[in-house]
Amino acid sequence: MTRLPTVSDVATAAGVSRQTVSNVLNAPDVVRPETRERVLAAVSELGYRPHASARRLRTQQSSTIGIRLDPMTDGISGVVLDRFLHALTAQADALGLRVMLFTAAGPEEEIAQFRRLSDGADVDAFVLTSTFEGDPRTEWLIEHGQRFVTFGRPWGVDDMEDPQHLWVDVDGRAGLRAATRHLLDEGLRRIAYVGWPSPSGTGDDRHAGWRETMREAGLDDDELDALEARTPEGVPHGAEALRAVEAATGGAVEGVVCSSDSLALGALLAARGRYPVIGYDNTPVAASIGMSSVDQPLEQVATGVLELLTGAHGGRVRHDGEPVGDPRHRLLEPRLVPRELQVAPA
C-alpha cells in the first residue's frame, strides 16, 4: 500500500494543472470535453479518489450522518433498526453521504455524544430513532442548531408541529386498522388486541387503530374493553395477556392483533392454532413461522429521512402543481403481510 495519488499526480499525468482536475471532478461542464477525457483517463489509470478528509476540511462539511446503535436488543423487534440502518446506509451512499455509528447508555449520554461528534465536526447531521414524549434529545439538537431528522414522531403535543423538528414515521394506527380489517373480512368478529400499556405514543396509536376499526364493525365499548389487554413487551407477557382476554370473554376470541411480534409470538403460542394472530414489524421470526405481520416500509423511511436531511424536498410540487404535503415530515403507510402458519405449534 504505497502513497495514494493526489490531484497533483493526476494533473501531472494528464498534463494539466491541479485546478483543472478539481474542476473536472466538481464542475465538469466548465472544462473542454477533450481535456476532461484526458483527465478522467488519468484518474482511472491512477485509481485516483479524492481524499475524504481533505475535502471535508476544505468544504467544512463532513457529509456524514451520525446514528446511535440502540443498546436494547432485548425485543425481537431489534431487527427493525437493523433493516432501517441498512436502507439508510445504502441510500446515503448513493448521495455521497456516510453513516457513522455511536453508542450511548441513555438520553443524557447520547446528548454528550451529539456534542462530541458535532464539536469535532465528525458528523453534520443526526438521525434519531425511537423518540418518546418529552424527549430531551431533540430539544438539545434544536437548541444547538444541529441538523437532524427523527424516525418517529415527537409525541409531545407541543413538539408535534415544531417547524424545527423534521420527522418521518410510520402510521401504526393505519397498520392496526389494516390488520384488524383483514381478520374482519375473513368473517371473524371478536378480534382481541394485545399491546403495550398506556401511555405510549406508538402503543396508543396502534391501539387506536384496532379500537376504531372494531367500533366501525359494530362492537360496543364493553365488548372492546373485554377484548383488549395491555402488557409490557415480551413473549411470555403476550401469552399471559391473551389467556387473560380468553378468561374475560369466556373463550370467545376469534383472532388477535398485536402491537409487536414479540407479543404476537406469545399470543400465537397461547392460541395454539385455534385462531389467527397478527403481529407488528414483520420480523424474521414472524416470517419463519408463517405469522402474519404488519410491515414497516423501512426503505421509504430511509428515503424520507434523507430527503428531509438534504433538503431535497424544498418546494417540491406534483405534476399538477400542487405542493406535496407538508415538507417537514412524512407519515408513511405500513402494509400487512398475510401468511399461512408454517409451523403449527400443535
Partner DNA sequence: CTGTTAGCGCATTCAC
Partner DNA sequence: GTGAATGCGCTAACAG
Residue 28: Cβ within 10 Å count: 12
Among 24, 25, 75, 276, binds its own copies (CB under 8 A): 75
Instruction: Between 34 and 185, name the residue whose CB sits nearer to DNA.
Output: 34
Q: Which stretch binds its own copies (CB under 8 A): 112-120, 246-254, 304-312, 314-322?
A: 112-120
Least CB distance to DNA at residue 231 (A): 51
Rounded to the nearest whole angstrom, what is the least distance from the CB of residue 49 to DNA in the complex?
A: 7
Classify the C-alpha dihedral 117-83-155-245 as positive or negative.
negative
Residues that bind DNA (CB under 7 A): 3-4, 6-8, 16-20, 22-23, 25-27, 30-33, 35, 48-51, 54-55, 57-60
Q: Residue 4 Cβ, how far from its own copies at the closest point, in Å?
A: 6
Ramachandran angles phi, psi of 166, nearest 5°:
-90, 135
Angle between helical axes of 172-185 and 201-216 (0-180°, round to 10): 30
Min separation Cβ 53 and its own copies, Å: 4
Site map for its own copies, 160-199, x if CB under 8 A? ----------------------------------------
8 A C-beta contact, residue 102 and residue 117: yes
Contact 24, 36 (CB under 8 A): yes
Q: Identify residue 195 by its one-letter amino acid code.
A: G
Which of DNA, its own copies, none sits in contact with 275, Cβ below 5 to 8 A by type?
Answer: none
Q: Which does 78 bind (CB under 5 to 8 A by kind): DNA, its own copies, none?
A: its own copies
Query: What residues between 287 and 306 interact with its own copies by CB under 8 A?
Result: 287-290
Grid cell locating 79: 431487527
Among residues 180 and 303, whose Cβ is nearest to its own copies? 303
- Pick between residue 71 and residue 199 the one whose CB is nearest to its own copies: 71
Q: Which is nearer to DNA, 9 or 223 (CB)?
A: 9
Question: CA angle, 287 as apex, 284 and 289 as ends, to 5°?
Answer: 110
The piece of 161-169, 193-201, 286-294, 331-339 that touches its own copies (CB under 8 A) is 286-294
Tell me the pairing of strands 329-332 and 292-295. Answer: unpaired
List the beta bridge partners of residue 330.
Answer: 168
Residues with Cβ within 8 Å of 271's Cβ and at least 6 positions away in sequence, in order, are 242, 253, 256, 277
Stretch binding its own copies (CB under 8 A), from 20-28, 111-119, 176-184, 196-204: 111-119
Residue pair 153/172 in contact (Cβ under 8 Å)? The answer is no
Question: Which residues face 323 on adjacent strands?
Answer: 317
252 binds, among DNA, its own copies, none (CB under 5 to 8 A by kind): none
Task: State the virtual CA torsion across 141, 146, 150, 155 in degrees, nearest 10.
Answer: 30
C-alpha–C-alpha distance, residues 17 and 39, integer Å: 10
Cis-peptide into 334, omega within 30 deg:
no
Nearer to DNA, 63 or 200 (CB): 63
Q: What is the maximum alpha-carbon separation in the chain? A: 87
> What residue ranges bind its own copies (CB under 8 A)?
1, 4, 47-54, 56-57, 62, 64, 69-71, 73-76, 78-79, 81-83, 85-86, 89-90, 93, 98-103, 115-116, 119-122, 144-146, 234-236, 239, 262, 265-266, 269-270, 272, 284-285, 287-290, 342-346
